[in-house]
Every structure is written in structure tokens, then in C-alpha cells.
């Protein structure tokens, strides 16, 4: 591996470099990676803009083949890619192998979606020349790519939400050139994937500006990217402060642009009485499994559990505390994330209204995330908004409520969420149904008798939700509907067939599904 990054067809180097850190040891990892300059960002955006008109009008089949070629190129470097990602993220091999499969799987899913064609939303209103009092024109609507897109790699999915992750896959599928700002925690992984995409661009004969990667540890790079007038939308997964900063930058541009930021969620799990009575112990164990998986570094990690207090909840708590007490420490993604986690856990442990129920096994070594389980009352939770702030990692609070009315008040108090989970038996259906309208207002996904971690990449998935779970609840960042973030409608009125784009030509040469009236 060299330390260059791909801008269009070039490999760019620099005298200014930075090194990745192995979070399991805090040691620096070779090689040094070139830091992108403001000129590199301008070059990437200029190439993206130059590529846009050609790329957006490629046939859907051509873009599908391109996405599949990217998947092939990533598969071809599977072993070294997973090895490098392990070093840079501290994540274990099976997890990264699964994530590699998810990454190539979602590229292929978007290829399938492109061929299916509903994404283009073609609607045709045929002319009615004899209509009274006035004739109707021929109107043809399709959706086109919005323009070059900036994507910010996420630290917690160095493959599936990073350089060739869901944002990039959906933007490329839409026909948008992409400039990725690689996450500085995994520059080697980013460069390997970036060069795989670069190779796919060349193999498919596409304009070089379809893809570039910029790198570096400074926030200013990302700001320059979002401020470039050629960028027309932004995809981001990360912290609330980071997401809100990008939203503010984008809104302050002379031409404001949409930011799709997936930011913050505590993913409430509600234990209903009958379910709790029937299987409190099993639920307690399963909950800790979901909580501690991957050191809790998921946006869908269950950060609060809400239930009516009583002996059944005690059973759940005992089982959860016992399981958590045996949870092995796991390396967290970065020293910064580990420090924030420790700080968040310490704040909860020191909170007057919060009881520490259990901590995971302590261990020597750098950046080990030690799980933490807390409890508080519904009244205390409602009274202090700080208790509803996300602590990124394997920390969670069990909220003991006086009754179901207090459960409802807790849910009414929380901000927007990615997910809300119900643990229910048949005897709980009436109570759950009564609460459902509150939950629908709060979350993008409502699930029963499962756990929020593990987000299926599928057409019906919604990985999104009301603010601050995301900056735009009208969309999803996982699943095929993610493509809609990067499309806008255009209507063609009375254009001669020779001038109509293929998607809306009279003969329908692309064979796209059409709604006609």
C-alpha cells in the first residue's frame, strides 16, 4: 500500500501526511497517508462536476454493471482489506468479514434496484388536444440525479458506512458523482476501497470524476468540501455535533443544499408486562447481547429500557446485570470514542438519580470499552434531559416506571429515534396498540420481540427517523429507498421525441415502469 489517495484517475501524494492509530495498542501504523489540500478538494469537485452530465445519463444497466464491478473489485482485495480494517478499527475479523459482505451485497442490491426501474418515478400525462376549455399538454416526469455528492465516511462501519458504503452506493446508483471524505481513523481501509472504486470507474469506461477520495484529520477539509458550490448534497453518519455542523454549513451556503446526517439515537426498548412476566430472564440476557455487541458502537444500540417497576422487572434486571458483569471488554474504535465513552459513563455513574447496576469485566490494554448498566426512575428521566443523551458504546439505562402512564410520559419526552423496540406477548397487545401512535411520531422503525441492532439492507428498511436521529426524517440511509435522497423530479412538457431523454421517450427504450394517465 502506498500513501496516495485517488482524485479522478490520479494517485495524489503530498508532503503533509498522517498516520492511522491501532486502537488496541495506541501505536501508529505505517504507511503515512497524504493529507488532501484545499486544491485537491477543488480538483475533486471540478472533476465530479465535469463528469456529472455524462454519468447521470448513463443507462441504468451501465450504472448497475458499474456497482457490480465495484463489488467485484472489493471482493478481489478481501483478505488484505479485512486485515487493514482490523488494525485500524480494532474490530474483530468475523465482524469485518460480515461487513465486507454487507458492503458488496448492498452495491449489488442497488444494481438490482436500478434494473427494476421504479426509482426513476416516470409519470406520463398524455396530451389531450381536444380537452375543453383548454387542451392539455404532454407532460413527462422523471427523476434525475441532483449533482455531485459529498459523503463522509463513518468510523464505526469502516466498510459498510464508509468509502463504498450505503451513501456512496445510493448516490452512484442515482447518477451522482461522489467525493468521499475518508474517516481519519481508517485511512488505509479508505484508500484500498477508494482505489477499488477508481479501478471500477476505469474498467467501465466512465468519466474519471465519478469518484474521488479526500483524506486528512482536520475538520476544515470536510467544511471545504461541503462549501464547494459544485456539491449538491451531503451524506453523513456520525456524531450529533458533527452532523449539526455540516447542516449549518450547508444551510449557510449561497445555494443551500440538503444534508442527510444520521446522528444520534438511544433506541428505546419497552418491556411490556406480559412479556416481562413470561420471559424476563431471557430478555435480560438477550438485551445484554444486543447492548455489548461490537462494544455497543452501533447507531441502533439499545441505550434505554423502559418498563413498569416490580418483581418481573427485577428478574430482568438481575439477569441483565449478571450477563453484563461477564461481558468481556472490547477495543473501541478510536481513542477519542473511548474517552467520550468513559466520560459519558462517569457522568451517569455520578448522577444523583442514577444507580450503577453492573460493569463489564475490566482489563488492561488501550481503549478497552467496559460495558455499563444503570437504572433510574421514570420521574428522574423525564426531569433531566441529560439522561436521554446518547453515550456511544455499551452503556444503557433501565428506566423503572410507576405504571404504563409513566412509560408513555417517558416515550413522549424523548427526542426522535432510529428505532423503538417492543417486547410484547399477546396480553400486551392492547397496551402496545395504545402506545403505537406515540412511537410512530418518534421513530423510523418499530420492531417487536427482537433487538434494534442488526439493520437489514432491504427495500422496506427505514434507517432514519425524526430529528435528531437524522437531519431529514423523510428518508432512509439503509435500503434501496436511500437512492431517493439523491434524485429530484424534472417535467418535460411537449418536447419532441428527439429531444426527450430516454427515460421518458415515447418508445420507452429503457423499459422503465411508467405510470400513465
Residues labelled as active-site residues? 262, 299
Q: In whole angstroms, give the CA distance from residue 153 to residue 460.
A: 24
**Among the listed residues 26, 448, 509, 511, the single contact to a copy of itself using CB under 8 A:** 448
Q: Which residues pair with 489 in a beta bridge?
A: 143
Per CB under 8 A, 105 contacts a copy of itself: no
Per CB under 8 A, 141 contacts a copy of itself: yes
Q: Is the peptide bond before 363 cis (omega within 30 degrees of 0)?
A: no
Binding range to a copy of itself, per CB under 8 A, among 177-185, 210-218, 250-258, 306-314: 250-258
Per CB under 8 A, 129 contacts a copy of itself: no
Binding range to a copy of itself, per CB under 8 A, among 13-21, 272-280, 337-345, 423-431: 423-431
Per CB under 8 A, 124 contacts a copy of itself: yes
Contact between 145 and 156 (Cβ < 8 Å):
no
Classified as helix, coil or strand, 373 is strand
Per CB under 8 A, 255 contacts a copy of itself: yes
Binding range to a copy of itself, per CB under 8 A, among 29-37, 150-158, 309-317, 444-452: 444-452
Per CB under 8 A, 416 contacts a copy of itself: yes
Q: Which of 25, 21, 135, 143 is nearest to 88 (CA)?
A: 21
DSSP class of residue 135?
P
DSSP class of residue 153?
P
Contact between 326 and 361 (Cβ < 8 Å):
yes
**CA angle at 85 for the pair 80 and 91, rounded to the nearest 5°:** 130
Per CB under 8 A, 506 contacts a copy of itself: no
- Extract the C-alpha cell encoding 5: 489517495
Q: Which of 36, 424, 463 is nearest to 260 (CA)?
A: 463
In the complex, what is the shortest distance from the CB of residue 162 to a copy of itself, in angstroms, rounded to a whole number?
Answer: 22
Sign of the CA dihedral running 356, 360, 362, 365: negative
Distances in whole angstroms, Cα of residue 459 to Cα of each of 61, 113, 260, 463, 472? 19, 9, 18, 11, 19
Per CB under 8 A, 437 contacts a copy of itself: yes
Quote the crossing angle between the two packed helices 78-89 and 93-116, to the nearest 10°: 120
Per CB under 8 A, 440 contacts a copy of itself: yes
Q: Which of residues 59-98 bind a copy of itself (CB under 8 A)?
A: none
Residue 80 CB neighbours (<10 A):
12
- Extract the C-alpha cell encoding 481: 429507498
Per CB under 8 A, 48 contacts a copy of itself: no
Q: Which of residues 356-415 bind a copy of itself (CB under 8 A)?
A: 415
Q: Which of residues 282-341 bind a copy of itself (CB under 8 A)?
A: none
Through-space distance between the first and last CA atoms of the chain, rounded to whole angstroms: 56
Kindly report the backbone phi and psi dihedral angles of residue 313, in degrees, each rounded to the nearest multiple of 5, phi listed first.
-70, -35
Per CB under 8 A, 492 contacts a copy of itself: yes
Per CB under 8 A, 466 contacts a copy of itself: yes
Per CB under 8 A, 467 contacts a copy of itself: yes
Task: Identify which of residues 115 and 429 has a Cβ nearer to a copy of itself in the complex.
Answer: 429
Per CB under 8 A, 476 contacts a copy of itself: yes
Q: In whole angstroms, give the CA distance from residue 465 to residue 476.
A: 8
In the complex, what is the shortest distance from the CB of residue 181 to a copy of itself, in angstroms, rounded to a whole number?
Answer: 23
Binding range to a copy of itself, per CB under 8 A, among 9-17, 22-30, 290-298, 472-480: 472-480
Per CB under 8 A, 258 contacts a copy of itself: yes
In the complex, what is the shortest distance from the CB of residue 36 to a copy of itself, in angstroms, rounded to a whole number?
Answer: 26
Tell me the number of residues near a copy of itself by CB under 8 A.
73
Binding range to a copy of itself, per CB under 8 A, among 205-213, 288-296, 310-318, 419-427: 419-427
Per CB under 8 A, 495 contacts a copy of itself: yes
Amino acid at each position: 500500500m502506498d500513501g496516495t489517495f485517488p482524485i479522478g484517475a490520479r494517485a495524489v501524494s503530498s508532503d503533509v501526511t498522517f498516520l492511522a492509530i491501532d486502537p488496541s495498542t495506541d501505536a501508529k501504523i505505517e504507511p503515512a497517508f497524504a493529507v488532501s489540500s484545499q486544491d485537491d478538494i477543488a480538483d475533486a469537485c471540478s472533476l465530479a462536476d465535469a463528469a456529472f452530465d455524462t454519468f447521470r445519463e448513463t443507462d441504468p444497466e451501465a450504472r448497475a454493471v458499474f456497482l457490480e464491478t465495484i463489488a467485484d473489485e472489493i471482493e478481489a482485495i478481501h483478505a488484505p482489506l479485512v486485515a487493514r480494517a482490523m488494525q485500524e478499527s480494532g474490530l474483530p475479523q468475523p465482524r469485518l468479514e460480515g461487513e465486507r459482505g454487507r458492503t458488496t451485497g448492498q452495491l449489488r442490491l442497488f444494481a438490482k434496484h436500478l434494473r427494476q426501474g421504479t426509482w426513476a418515478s416516470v409519470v406520463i400525462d398524455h396530451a389531450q388536444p381536444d380537452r375543453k376549455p383548454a387542451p392539455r399538454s404532454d407532460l413527462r416526469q422523471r427523476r434525475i440525479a441532483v449533482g455531485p455528492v459529498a459523503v463522509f465516511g463513518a468510523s464505526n462501519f469502516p466498510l459498510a458506512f464508509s468509502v463504498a458504503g450505503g451513501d456512496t452506493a445510493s448516490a452512484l446508483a442515482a447518477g451522482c458523482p461522489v467525493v468521499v471524505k475518508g474517516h481519519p481513523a481508517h485511512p488505509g481501509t479508505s484508500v484500498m476501497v477508494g482505489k477499488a472504486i477508481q479501478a471500477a470507474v476505469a474498467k467501465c469506461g466512465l468519466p474519471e470524476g465519478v469518484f474521488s477520495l479526500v483524506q486528512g484529520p482536520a475538520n476544515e477539509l470536510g467544511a471545504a468540501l461541503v462549501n464547494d458550490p459544485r456539491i449538491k448534497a451531503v451524506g453523513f453518519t456520525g456524531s450529533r455535533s458533527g452532523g449539526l455542523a455540516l447542516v449549518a454549513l450547508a444551510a449557510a451556503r449561497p445555494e443551500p443544499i440538503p444534508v442527510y446526517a444520521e446522528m444520534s439515537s438511544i433506541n428505546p426498548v419497552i418491556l411490556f408486562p406480559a412479556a416481562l412476566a413470561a420471559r424476563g430472564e431471557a430478555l435480560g440476557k438477550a438485551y445484554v447481547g444486543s447492548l455489548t455487541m461490537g462494544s455497543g458502537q452501533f447507531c441502533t444500540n439499545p441505550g434505554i429500557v423502559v418498563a413498569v417497576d416490580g418483581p418481573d422487572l427485577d428478574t430482568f434486571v438481575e439477569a441483565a446485570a449478571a450477563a453484563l458483569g461477564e461481558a468481556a471488554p472490547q477495543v473501541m474504535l478510536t481513542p477519542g470514542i473511548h474517552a467520550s465513552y468513559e466520560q459519558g459513563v462517569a457522568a451517569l455513574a455520578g448522577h444523583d438519580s442514577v444507580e450503577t447496576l453492573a460493569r463489564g469485566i475490566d482489563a488492561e490494554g488501550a481503549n478497552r470499552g467496559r460495558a455499563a448498566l444503570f437504572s433510574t426512575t421514570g420521574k428522574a428521566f423525564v426531569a433531566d434531559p441529560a439522561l436521554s443523551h446518547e453515550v456511544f458504546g455499551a452503556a444503557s439505562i433501565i428506566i423503572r416506571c410507576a405504571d404504563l402512564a409513566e412509560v408513555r410520559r417517558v416515550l413522549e419526552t424523548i427526542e426522535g429515534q432510529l428505532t423503538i423496540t417492543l417486547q410484547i406477548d399477546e396480553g400486551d397487545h392492547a397496551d402496545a396498540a395504545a402506545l403505537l401512535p406515540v412511537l410512530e411520531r418518534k421513530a423510523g422503525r418499530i420492531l417487536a420481540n427482537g433487538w434494534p441492532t442488526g439493520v437489514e439492507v432491504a427495500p422496506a428498511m427505514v434507517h432514519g427517523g425524526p430529528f435528531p436521529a437524522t437531519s431529514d426524517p423523510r428518508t432512509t440511509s439503509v435500503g434501496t429507498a436511500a437512492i431517493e435522497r439523491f434524485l429530484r423530479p424534472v417535467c418535460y412538457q411537449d418536447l419532441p421525441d428527439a429531444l426527450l431523454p430516454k427515460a421518458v421517450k415515447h418508445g420507452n427504450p429503457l423499459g422503465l415502469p411508467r405510470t400513465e394517465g
